[in-house]
Chains A and B, each alone.
Chain A
Amino acid sequence: MEVRMEIEAYEYTAGPLGDRWLNEIKQGRLTAAKCPSCNTIFLPPKLYCPKCRSRVVDLIQLGKGKVEYMITVGVDDEGKELDHPAKVAIIRFPNTFGGLVHYVSDDVEEGDEVLPEFREERRGSITDIVRFRKA
């Protein structure tokens, strides 16, 4: 017995709150979810609070983030060598549970404060942010 399945494409949707979060990014704003019950601010946004399971309604705008860890990536997702190695970091935000993984500019080091650099043309995607650069 054998089961064979070919995949043409995966189409992901981000869910009711994730969709709103991506729309905020499309408008050039980076936000986080805020729980109306225990006030936990968290990223990535989820419809239910990771601390108290309450239903989340609001997104609040974020300011500067801070680079916690950083690595340099030399290959792409298929193992091919990149022309220009990419710096990828875990970015945390003040009083915010969780964080974001994203590109940072070459001059950024661990501990630096960073801000998102948005593209001119945005479609509602995490890659509407080109990278985080020094604040």
Chain B
Amino acid sequence: MTDFKVTPLSEDSFRNAIRESTSPRAVYDMAPGEAYTKFFEGLREGKILGTKCPSCGLVHVPPKVYCQYCYLPLTQWVEVKDEGFVETAVVVYIAAERERLEKPEVVGVIRLEGSGDRYRYPGLMHRICTEPEEVKSSRIMGVKVKARWATERKGSINDIECFEVVSWK
């Protein structure tokens, strides 16, 4: 039986697949709002910022203006470490508009140190600089990673190039 884990969709499979196409006449216009604006400004300075709930103590990264558990307004800003643990990861073979990537990328959710606990963590989604094999073997799960910062930063999530493995388990 074919193994679908970490298997790229071939151009042929896509061509032969039955497709449904819709043209929704949609335009997305996204403004980052109060919390994300400050978050992006923080990234420009090489800092990862979150908001801390005065009631449950959970640090929200990326930041929110209300606690998703207590519904309280969040006004306290904290800087969290640019190190954390890989909660989950996946191999990506195609880019946003389905163009094939020359080299597959690994993306995942990283629970940053200082941002919440084991059961409740907002988690930052980003690229992880590692080989697809490490995802296929699940070796990457739970591994400690650290942000690799871009030298020129402009207040974007890409100010972090990716998260690099600090040490293998």
A is bound by B: yes
CB within 8 Å: A-B pair count:
66
Check B18–A4 contact: CB distance below 8 A.
Answer: no
Give a binary string over A65-86; 1 marks a CB under 8 Å from any B CB, 0 the rest: 0000000000000000000000
Check B31–A2 contact: CB distance below 8 A.
Answer: yes
Give a binary string over A1-36; 1 marks a CB under 8 Å from any B CB, 0 the rest: 111111111111110100100110010000000000
Q: Give bound CA distance, A13 to B26, whole Å.
A: 20
Total count of chain B residues near the partner, CB < 8 A = 24
- Chain A binding site: helix, strand, loop or mixed by DSSP? mixed
Nearest residue (CB) in A for B23 is A9
Whether B20 sits at the interface, judged by CB under 8 Å, is: yes
Check A47–B4 contact: CB distance below 8 A.
Answer: yes
Residues A76-122 near B (CB distance < 8 A): none
Whether A55 sits at the interface, judged by CB under 8 Å, is: yes
Check A16–B4 contact: CB distance below 8 A.
Answer: yes
| Complex partner residue of A7 from B26, B31, B98, B155, CB under 8 angstroms | B26
Identify the 6 closest CB pairs spanning chains A and B, nearest first: A124-B18, A3-B30, A5-B28, A13-B17, A7-B26, A12-B20
25 residue pairs of the A-B complex, CB under 8 angstroms, read A1-B31, A1-B32, A1-B37, A1-B40, A2-B31, A3-B28, A3-B30, A3-B32, A4-B28, A7-B24, A7-B26, A8-B23, A9-B23, A11-B21, A11-B98, A12-B22, A13-B17, A13-B19, A14-B18, A16-B2, A16-B4, A19-B17, A47-B4, A125-B18, A125-B20
